[in-house]
């Protein structure tokens, strides 16, 4: 579905990630893990066209989209749930979803909105509520829902669990797994390594902007070197180590 080949990206003269390659397949979850500053967010934002690419290629359905502007990626079938959600806080839940569906027809937007409300009944109950007044978990649901309003084939999710209570993390991850079952290719950047590996089909490990490992979740779990050297952890059991809490 999405193939990244020898990607190098950064900000001005600063290289954030170099020589990164991976493939995200239809109906699978690819998780990108690594310590802070490893280049995870830069890599997926480069895939979305928001970070400058100095080398490498990005292919969607086999088509080279490396130089396609960021504004075209939603039309091509890609969408992102950004770190920190970045909602329009003064707008209502319904208005945020309407903005998310800007690239679709009115009829399609209505159908997609109902789809989001079926995935997240809590959002349906709060359609008129301002996004900025909702809990962190509800805001994350809305951020996912807004991304789905473009009807993507590839969904990139950055730090889904950040700042959320465990029960909200569970709900959001269950939705990601459901979307996978519906055929989406999902790239998940996640600080909660243990939870990420629980649902991943394949894993990419980054360190200091370099790809240092790749494999199945089982293969990565069994390699203590990744946790000790590249993730700075003593074991694979990192549940709630970030002090998650619903805001």
Q: Decide: residue 68, CB within 10 A, 0-12 exposed, 13-18 middle, 19+ buried.
A: middle
Higher pLDDT, 146 or 234: 146
Co-location of 48 and 14 in the same domain = yes
Domain count for the chain: 2
State the pLDDT at residue 243.
Answer: 40
158 in the same domain as 57? yes
Is 8 contained in some domain? Answer: yes
pLDDT at residue 229, rounded to an integer: 58
> What's CA 102's distance to the chain center, in Å?
20
Give tens-digit pLDDT for 108-132.
Answer: 999 999 999 999 999 999 999 999 9
Residue 40 maps to a domain: yes
Residue 72 and residue 185 in one domain? yes
Bridge partners for 4 per DSSP: 22, 58
- Are residues 68 and 98 both part of a single domain? no
Place of tokens 């239809």: 26
Q: Residue 161: what pLDDT? A: 87
pLDDT the model gives residue 115: 95
**145 & 158 share domain:** no
What burial class does residue 114 get, using C-beta atoms within 10 Å of its C-beta: 0-12 exposed, 13-18 middle, 19+ buried?
Answer: exposed
Q: From CA 183, how far away is CA 157, in angstroms rounded?
A: 16
Q: Which of 130, 151, 172 is at the close of a domain?
A: 151
Could you tell me if 39 and 112 lie in one domain? no
Q: What is the pLDDT of residues 132-184, one digit of tens each?
A: 999 999 999 999 999 999 999 999 999 988 888 889 999 999 999 999 999 99
Q: Kindly state whether residues 157 and 49 are assigned to the same domain.
A: yes
CATH number reported for the structural domain that contains residue 208 in this entry: 3.40.50.300
Give the span between the Cα atoms of 129 and 132, in whole angstroms: 9
Whether 67 is in a domain gets the answer yes
169 located within any domain: no
Write down the pLDDT at residue 231.
Answer: 60
14 and 120 share one domain = no
Same domain, 109 and 61: no
Residues 213 and 100 in one domain: no
59-63, 224-228, 240-244: least confidently modelled range: 240-244
Mean pLDDT calculated for residue range 239-246: 39
Within a domain: residue 171? no
* Residue 95 CA: distances (Å) to CA of 73, 74, 105, 152: 22, 18, 15, 19
The pLDDT of residue 205: 92
Judged against a pLDDT cut of 90, whether residue 37 lies above it is answered with no
Domain of 38, in residue numbers? 1-77+152-163+180-235
Is 32 found in the same domain as 2? yes
Per DSSP, 130 falls in state B
Question: Could you tell me if residue 246 is inside a domain?
Answer: no
Q: Are residues 59 and 92 in the same domain?
A: no
């Amino acid at each position: 579905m999405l193939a990244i080949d020898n990607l190098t990206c950064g900000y001005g003269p600063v290289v954030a990630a170099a020589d990164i390659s991976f493939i995200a397949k239809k109906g699978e979850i690819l998780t990108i893990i690594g310590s802070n500053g490893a280049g995870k967010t830069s890599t997926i934002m480069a895939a979305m066209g928001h970070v400058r690419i100095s080398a490498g290629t990005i292919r969607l359905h086999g088509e080279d989209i490396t130089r396609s502007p960021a504004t075209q990626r939603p039309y091509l079938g890609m969408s992102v749930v950004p770190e920190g959600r970045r909602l329009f806080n003064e707008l209502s839940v319904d208005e945020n979803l309407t903005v998310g569906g800007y690239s679709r027809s009115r009829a399609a937007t209505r159908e997609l909105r109902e789809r989001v409300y079926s995935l997240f009944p809590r959002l349906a109950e709060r359609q008129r509520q301002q996004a900025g007044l909702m809990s962190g978990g509800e805001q994350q649901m809305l951020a996912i829902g807004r991304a789905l309003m473009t009807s993507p084939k590839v969904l990139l999710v950055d730090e889904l669990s950040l700042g959320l209570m465990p029960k909200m993390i569970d709900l959001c991850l269950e939705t990601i797994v459901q979307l996978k079952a519906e055929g989406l290719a999902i790239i998940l950047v996640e600080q909660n390594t243990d939870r990420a590996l629980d649902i991943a089909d394949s894993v990419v490990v980054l360190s200091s902007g370099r790809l240092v490992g790749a494999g199945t979740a089982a293969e990565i779990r069994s390699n203590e070197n990744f946790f000790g050297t590249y993730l700075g952890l003593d074991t694979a059991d990192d549940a709630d180590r970030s002090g998650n809490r619903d805001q």
